[in-house]
Amino acid sequence: MKIKLYLGLTLLLVTLVFSLQNSAVVDVKFHAWKFATSLALVMFATLGAGLIGGWAVSSARLLKNGGAKKRTTTP
């Protein structure tokens, strides 16, 4: 259990350092929208969108194949 705590704290520390080092303000342009935000926020939003997209594709594939894979046993 302690290893999960240490791993979580290490990940939190790395995320904090990453956010502090990438705090520069960048302009984001998307079609008619334009806004300024920190680079770290843009990168985290992109990561989140990728994770959600990957989860959606994976879930759709599982549903199309009939759920979890069926295991066959040989006698």
Convert the pLDDT of each residue in 2-37 to its tens digit: 888 899 899 889 988 988 888 899 999 989 989 999
User: Which residues contact residue 34 at a Cβ distance below 8 angstroms, ignoring those fewer than 6 apart?
Assistant: 27, 28
Structure tokens at 45: 């939003």
Alpha-carbon separation of residue 20 from 8, 14, 25, 37, 63 (angstroms): 18, 10, 12, 14, 41
Residue ranges per structural domain of the chain: 39-66
When pLDDT is cut at 50, 70 and 90, the band that residue 69 belongs to is low
pTM here is 0.64
Output the pLDDT for position 61. Answer: 84
